């Protein structure tokens, strides 16, 4: 048999969502008996059982990876629902990347249109946050702007200073406070139902560890500007506008201190 045909048939049989037997039934030219044309069986293990070893390995390997990447989503759904979720997910989003680390990258998208949302309306937000934590963990490295470097500038240089966000920073617009669910599962506690949002959540990486917290008043517009690259003056204006404070200077100083110590900002070449 031609190699490409062989591989395509095996791919379909191994990934058949209803298992090898259903897959074989669908392969028109290939009933259980026909499988002998492809695969040798013997007294100990039939051709069908040999194929089933690969089919089980395919599903359970990806289920394990998704459970590891989405521990809170899995905890909320429980084993049976999560199992069924991944079965459906793999049908719509079969892995295409060489690295298995990307296997779950579309799970949140898949959940947005999933019936599980009826009883757990926060579930897609939860998966979004868990996936974002992984993306931040693996995002590109960059040298953050240090407070010392900023202090070294003369005050006249500050307004025109070009700033950007570190590549590992993400700002999520969520409808539910799913960060409490992630935190509970991280701490080994049962997942609690989140309260409704809206929630603007900051995700960042500092010293190789990923952190997250709700944005504070005054931060959202400024960090959104920085995401596209902006000046220090524009950031100050954004903080002032968003906070509505008569004297925004203390707030700006306080937020800037937080951003710098968390390594959120980069200095861009003008």
Partner 1 sequence: MDRRAFPSLGVGVGLRRPHYTHVLDTRPAMDWFEVIAENFMVDGGRPLEVLEAVRANYPIVLHGVSLSVGSTDPLNRDHLRRLAELARRFAPAWISDHLCWTGVGGRNLHDLLPLPYTDDTVTHVARRIRDTQDMLERHILIENVSSYLSYTHSTLTEWEFLAAVAETADCGILLDINNIFVSAFNHGFDARRYIDAIPIERVVQFHLAGHSDHGTYLLDTHDHPIRAEVWELYEYAVRRFGPVATLIERDDNIPEFDELQAEANEARRRSARAVVADHTRAE
Helix H or strand E segment including 6: helix 3-15
Q: Scanning the structure block, which residue is given the tokens 């204006």?
A: 237
Q: How near is the Cβ of 139 to partner 1 at its closest, in Å?
A: 6
Decide if residue 29 touches partner 1 (CB under 8 A): no
The long-range contacts involving 140-146, CB below 8 angstroms and separated by at least 24 positions, are 140/167, 140/168, 141/167, 142/166, 142/167, 142/266, 143/266, 144/260, 144/263, 144/264, 144/265, 144/266, 145/260, 145/265, 145/266, 145/267, 146/260
Residues 222-261 that bind partner 1 (CB under 8 A): none
Q: Scanning the structure block, which residue is given the tokens 């929630």?
A: 199
Among 18, 26, 31, 54, binds partner 1 (CB under 8 A): 54
For partner 1, give the closer residue by CB, 34 or 159.
34
The binding track of 154-173 with respect to partner 1, each residue x by CB under 8 A or -, is -------------xx-----
Decide if residue 208 touches partner 1 (CB under 8 A): yes
Stretch that binds partner 1, among 55-63, 147-155, 217-225, 260-268 (CB under 8 A): 55-63
Decide if residue 103 touches partner 1 (CB under 8 A): yes
For partner 1, give the closer residue by CB, 38 or 234.
38
User: 181 by DSSP, 3-state: which?
Assistant: helix
User: 163 by DSSP, 3-state: which?
Assistant: strand
Q: Scanning the structure block, which residue is given the tokens 């406070």?
A: 177
Written as six digits, the tokens of 151 are 């202090």
The binding track of 107-136 with respect to partner 1, each residue x by CB under 8 A or -, is ------------------------------
Stretch that binds partner 1, among 42-50, 104-112, 121-129, 252-260 (CB under 8 A): 42-50
For residues 110 and 89, the answer to whether their CB atoms sit within 8 Å is: yes
User: 210 by DSSP, 3-state: which?
Assistant: strand
Q: Could you say which DSSP state residue 41 is in? A: -
**Exposed / middle / buried, residue 172 (Cβ in 10 Å: 0-12, 13-18, 19+):** middle
Q: How near is the Cβ of 10 to partner 1 at its closest, in Å?
A: 7
What does the alpha-carbon distance between residue 54 and residue 41 come to, in Å, rounded to a whole number?
A: 14
Count of residues of this chain found to bind partner 1 when the rule CB under 8 A is applied: 47
Q: How near is the Cβ of 41 to partner 1 at its closest, in Å?
A: 9
For partner 1, give the closer residue by CB, 143 or 189.
143
Which among 149, 69, 148, 75 is positioned nearest to 105, based on CA atoms? Answer: 69
Decide if residue 143 touches partner 1 (CB under 8 A): no
For partner 1, give the closer residue by CB, 2 or 187.
2
Q: How near is the Cβ of 235 to partner 1 at its closest, in Å?
A: 25
Q: Which residues bind partner 1 (CB under 8 A)?
A: 1, 3-4, 6-8, 10-11, 14-15, 36-40, 42, 44-45, 47, 49-51, 53-54, 57-58, 61-62, 94-101, 103, 137-142, 167-168, 205, 208
């Amino acid at each position: 048999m031609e190699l490409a045909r062989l591989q395509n048939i095996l791919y379909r049989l191994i990934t058949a969502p209803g298992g090898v037997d259903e897959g074989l039934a669908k392969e028109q030219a290939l009933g259980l008996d026909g499988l002998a044309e492809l695969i040798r069986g013997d007294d100990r293990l039939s051709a069908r059982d040999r194929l089933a070893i690969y089919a089980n390995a395919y599903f359970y390997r990806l289920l394990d990876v998704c459970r590891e990447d989405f521990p809170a989503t899995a905890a909320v759904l429980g084993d049976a629902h999560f199992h069924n979720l991944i079965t459906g997910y793999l049908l719509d989003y079969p892995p295409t990347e060489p690295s298995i680390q990307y296997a779950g990258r579309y799970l949140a998208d898949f959940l947005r249109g999933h019936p599980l949302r009826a009883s757990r309306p926060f579930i897609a937000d939860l998966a979004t946050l868990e996936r974002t934590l992984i993306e931040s963990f693996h995002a590109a490295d960059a040298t953050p702007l240090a407070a010392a470097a900023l202090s070294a500038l003369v005050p006249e240089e500050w307004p025109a200073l070009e700033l950007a966000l570190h590549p590992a920073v993400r700002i999520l617009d969520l409808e539910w406070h799913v960060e409490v669910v992630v935190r509970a599962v991280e701490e080994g506690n049962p997942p609690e139902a989140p309260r409704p949002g809206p929630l603007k959540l900051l995700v960042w990486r500092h010293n190789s560890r990923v952190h997250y917290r709700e944005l504070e008043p005054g931060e959202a517009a400024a960090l959104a500007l920085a995401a596209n690259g902006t000046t220090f003056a524009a950031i100050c204006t954004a903080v002032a506008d968003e906070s509505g404070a008569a004297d925004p200077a203390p707030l700006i100083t306080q937020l800037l201190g937080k951003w710098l110590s968390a390594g959120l900002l980069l200095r861009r070449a003008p």
